[in-house]
Structure 1
Amino acid sequence: MAKYNISLDDLTPNNLQVLRRINSVVLPLPYSDAWYKESLTVGPLVKLAFFNEIPVGAIRCSLVVPQKHNVGESKIYIMTLAVLAPYRRYGIGKQLVDYIINDVVKLEEMAFVKEVYCHVWVENTDALEWYVKTAGFEKGEVVPGYYKKMDPPGDAVVLRKRV
């Protein structure tokens, strides 16, 4: 039986191009240089995944805090989750999501987070099924025209998981 090792690592200026490359191969829309630069400032909300020391996946999140006078709970938004196609059956995406749900949410500065959520293109049935069946998210509302840079603009399903 073949052995393999899956590990997660922090994003640094030295491996920033790895995040950019994985996203460009897997995701249908490009992200700006400013987005990648900001990714270096979000600490535990971004991780790279390695399969036998080969970079094959990444997750990038943001913290969503209600405005001062609004009622609501803080949330973590999964901005991107990407795993290279040949490595999708090894549990790498699940390990990345579990890291956010089980490790990041337990950090003292994240103790007020009550939900993790994301948007998935309605046509990406594989991702929608994965989030529900594998990662335990629940489908929410459809947001018409969420992906404005698609031609034509694409609708998104909101997926949520209480933590």
Structure 2
Amino acid sequence: MGRDIVSLDDLTVNNLGVFKKINEVVLPTSYPEQWYKDSLNADQIVKLAYYSELPVAAIKAKTINTSHKAGTYEHMQQQQINSKIIPNAVYIESFAVLPAYRGVGIGKKLLDFIIEETKNKFVHEILLHVHIDNKTTIEWYEKHGFIKDDDIVKDYYKAQGLENPDAYILTLKV
């Protein structure tokens, strides 16, 4: 059997810039330099995806406790969990696939990785925020079993300068 054309790799100091560039090209949000540096910490769940050895996608997630509600994107990024509180969910902070490489299974492979990591941490829920106008992404997540909460998180992306700063929360039970 031949080698899979899509492969996943760990984030390292050497490919941190690639991770940053993929996010900058694909996502409507921006992350501070410290967010990228923190991506190298052991408590972060991060993978880069390669298509024929070209870096084309990335995902970053962390464990959280959903009793800490996040009213804004910035609050979600800054959320620090008290070490005595047991995480009950994995939150996908960023998930980006370069447009030219969508539809070939890269996103699915990254999502499968996150699902496995979630199970390995004995956690049974994955959640994320999606910009309210990003219908294609919402449909992709729903196709993969996520449920969209009908409640809208008002002004979630306000500081990002988006025209419509609202978001939906999507969840997946695993």
Which TM-score band (shorter chain)?
0.7 to 0.9
* Aligned pairs for 1:137-148 within 5 A: 137-140=146-149, 141-148=151-158
1:156 aligns with 2:167: yes
Change (3 A) 1:48 1:33: same
Residue 100 (structure 1) aligns with? 114
* Aligned pairs for 1:70-89 within 5 A: 74-89=88-103
1 CA distance for matches of 2:42 and 2:91?
12
Deviation at 1:43, TM superposition (A): 5.4
Residue 75 (structure 2) aligns with? none
Residue 61 (structure 2) aligns with? 61
**Residues 44 and 62 in structure 2, CA contact (< 8 A), matched pair in contact too:** no
Per-residue displacement from partner, 1:19-53 (whole Å, max 9, x unpaired)?
Answer: 00000000012111000000000456100000000
In structure 2, the gaps of 5 or more residues are 68-80
Deviation at 1:94, TM superposition (A): 1.1
Change (3 A) 1:33 1:73: closer
1 CA distance for matches of 2:44 and 2:109?
14
Q: Which structure has more RCO (C-alpha within 8 Å, separation ≥ 6)?
A: 2
Aligned counterpart in structure 2 of residue 120 of structure 1, from 111, 130, 133: 130
Change (3 A) 1:124 1:139: same
In the alignment, residue 28 of structure 1 is paired with which amino acid?
P
Residue 49 (structure 1) aligns with? 49
Structure with a larger share of its residues in strand = 1
1:136 aligns with 2:145: yes
Residue 34 (structure 1) aligns with? 34
> Aligned residues, how many?
155
In structure 1, the gaps of 5 or more residues are none
1 CA distance for matches of 2:43 and 2:59?
12
1 CA distance for matches of 2:109 and 2:14?
23
1 CA distance for matches of 2:89 and 2:46?
15
What SS does structure 2 have at the residue aligned with 1:40?
A: coil
Per-residue displacement from partner, 1:40-95 (whole Å, max 9, x unpaired)?
Answer: 00456100000000000000001103577xx9961000000000000001011111
Per-residue displacement from partner, 1:140-162 (whole Å, max 9, x unpaired)?
Answer: 12101110222445110100001
% identity of equivalent residues: 44
In the alignment, residue 141 of structure 2 is paired with which amino acid?
Y
**Residues 43 and 62 in structure 2, CA contact (< 8 A), matched pair in contact too:** no
